Amino acid sequence: AQQLVESGGGSVQAGGSLTLSCVISGLTWDGPRDERMGWFRQAPGKEREGVASIDSFGDTLYAGSVEGRFTISHESAKNTVYLQMNSLKSEDTAEYFCAYRPHHWSPSLTASDFTFWGQGTQVSVSS
């Protein structure tokens, strides 16, 4: 089974930037494959919400609250997905989770559309 490990979280002031990375292990690079990757976040007392998603064709989908500020990308050969976060706001504070589903395409912000999850990395934005 695939394992996902996130990194890059931390504390930053409002207006700052962070880049999250997620390495997906257990994959063999044998050429292009259908896959769906995503980033979700969960703030204390709130439900997990989809932030950004990308598929192996490069199609992306963003939550309205982050569109224009966050950019999702991936490098299939490195089994890594990234989330570049700019112009961070205090309301972006949350635990961020990487998600993955093989053999599927089209991006999604719905948690049930993903099979494998990382343990999360904390992002704290102070105003």
In a structure prediction context, what are the per-residue pLDDT tens digits for the chain, which is 127 residues long? 779 999 999 999 999 999 999 999 876 656 667 889 999 999 999 999 999 999 999 999 999 999 999 999 999 888 899 999 999 999 999 999 999 998 888 999 999 999 999 999 999 999 9
Report the pLDDT value the prediction gives residue 30, as an integer from 0 to 100: 61
Report the pLDDT value the prediction gives residue 1, as an integer from 0 to 100: 74
Question: Is 69:15 a contact under the CB 8 Å cutoff?
Answer: no
How far apart (Å, rounded) are the C-alpha atoms in residues 79 and 28?
A: 9
Report the pLDDT value the prediction gives residue 14, as an integer from 0 to 100: 98
| Cβ contacts of 30 within 8 Å, gap of 6 or more | none
